[in-house]
Structure 1
Amino acid sequence: MEIFFEHSIKRHKDKFERLFQRSQYNKKPSLDINRIVINLSSKPLSENALNALAKGKNFAVTPKILPVEDIISNIEAGIRFLPVDTIEEIRYQSVRILRNAKPIKSNLTFSQRHALKELKGDKDVIVLSADKGNATVILNMEDYNMKLQQLLDPQIYKILPKDPTNKFLLKTKNLIKYSSIPDTIKRELTNTEAISPRLKCTVMENLL
């Protein structure tokens, strides 16, 4: 009996060792936060802010309150072309589910939320997503504005008295209209909602 017991213990220990080694092998390496969150500003970031920003621009922070109005609005938009009976059933089930819905558990700690709130309220820095590498970059607002001014070099660009888009649009439409291009292709080439180029600045609004 004692020999069997010792053999059983040894067998379980060997099994545990194999499972432990396998889990260590499959364990993902920890991410280097300093490579994910690049702080180029003059202000140091707390550990909570770094950990929150390291989650990336696509990380969706759970709302403190269930967005009932948004959910209902999206449901109504999706069911408006369905049969009346189906619409009423979906509305009934939606109301039942929303009434019984529990508060959403936060996917950020209280300290992380507080750190992000402080960062959002700091007008001297700006949080951006890097062009490459899926990293988050923190810059001084002054440095950021300076870089924008460099892009808008007056030697390259100049301020126009008014937007010339409509003028070019009309000219292009007339050129297409009186050309020998087949009518089917003319319709494809004609643009009625042209928009002038714009300089867009990317800010990580999901987290902030």
Structure 2
Amino acid sequence: MDLADLRVGIEPPPGGLALREVRRNLRSKLLCDLTFLKSCRDNKVIPTNFRLKHPDGPPSTVNILAKCSHALIRKTIHNIRRNLDTTNSSLFHHFGILSLANIHPIIWDTYLRISIEKADHISAKKTDTQKKKLFFLLQHKIPPKQTTNTPVLIHHLSDTPIDQTTRELLSKVLNFCITPHKLPTETIITQVESAISHLPPTEAEETRQDIASTLRRAKLPPSNISRSERICLRNLHNNTDIIVLPADKGDATVILNTSDYVEKISSLL
């Protein structure tokens, strides 16, 4: 008996089985790529094809390119997830079409078995290759440089006495970022809306939903200064008799009388 004789009812659409097999294989590859890139993202390693390089670039340039490479990985993960959703929808659509074709059960079962086995084989082969890549990347991962915090010199030139807690606070350098009391939700939303204004409506809405979900789950990190240091910071902010500035040269902090500072600036103008 010929296979054509086993078909009953409506004929399947031309290329329907082949197209579904292509979609299934594509889905297996996308799942493998997604798993690999998520592992690279979580372990902070950059695959070779994502590395942005600059010949003889200074360390600052290297750091910028590394951040861009990580951003590219995150963007690719987002694109793969979107392609997976499209592929899954297409598979479901083709399954509905083929179910109406009344293909003989023997042919249908045989097709499903072969296509699943082929997709599993592709997935296993690709997973094995990517595991070796990830192992190689982790073996050759460059450890982060250990930075030593050198003490900051404080030149106290004002008439207002300062205590040891204030000195310890100022020794954290003036660009030290203090954890806020509350999340700057309004600022984040405003900046996100400005950034996505040029995106298509669908992508812009997806970004809004992602940001909203992240903000709902977000929690403030623990404070990185003590309560006494926070009180000292408030006192420094409210004290109009002194002004705290970075030194023109060297890593130092200068405390001046506000009147002396204004007089010096006026003489220079």
Q: TM-score range by the shorter chain?
A: 0.5 to 0.7
Aligned length: 125
Q: Displacement, 1:103?
A: 2.1
Letter in 2 for 1:59: F
**2:254 paired residue number:** 137
Aligned partners of 1:46 and 1:115 also within 8 Å: no
Q: Displacement, 1:138?
A: 0.3
CA distance in 1, matches of 2:218, 2:149: 35
TM-score (norm. length: structure 1): 0.55
**1:46 paired residue number:** 163
**1:127 paired residue number:** 244
CA distance in 2, matches of 1:131, 1:71: 33
Deviations along 1:74-103, one digit per CA (max 9) or x if unpaired, are: 111111111211111111111111011112
Q: Displacement, 1:32?
A: 4.2
Give me the CA root mean square deviation.
Answer: 2.1
**1:82 paired residue number:** 199
CA distance in 2, matches of 1:105, 1:63: 10
CA distance in 2, matches of 1:89, 1:47: 50
Return the structure number with greater helix share: 2
Deviations along 1:143-199, one digit per CA (max 9) or x if unpaired, are: 1122123213xxxxxxxxxxxxxxxxxxxxxxxxxxxxxxxxxxxxxxxxxxxxxxx
Letter in 2 for 1:85: T
**1:21 paired residue number:** none
CA distance in 1, matches of 2:265, 2:149: 35
- Runs of 4+ in structure 1 deviating by more than 3 angstroms, as ranges, are 27-33
Q: Which runs of 5+ in 2 are unaligned?
A: 1-145
Distance 1:73 1:30, change over 3 A: closer
Deviations along 1:43-71, one digit per CA (max 9) or x if unpaired, are: 22122211111111221222111000001
Match of 1:57 among 174, 178, 181: 174
> Structure 2 matches for 1:1-208, cutoff 5 A?
31-33=150-152, 36-152=153-269
Q: Which moved more, 1:88-97 or 1:36-45?
A: 36-45
CA distance in 1, matches of 2:188, 2:160: 39
Distance 1:48 1:89, change over 3 A: same
Q: Percent identity?
A: 40
CA distance in 2, matches of 1:92, 1:43: 51
Distance 1:146 1:131, change over 3 A: same
Aligned partners of 1:37 and 1:136 also within 8 Å: yes
Q: Which runs of 5+ in 1 are unaligned?
A: 1-26, 153-208
CA distance in 2, matches of 1:62, 1:56: 15
Aligned partners of 2:157 and 2:255 also within 8 Å: yes
* Greater relative CO, 1 or 2 (CA 8 Å, sep 6+): 1
Aligned partners of 2:151 and 2:171 also within 8 Å: no
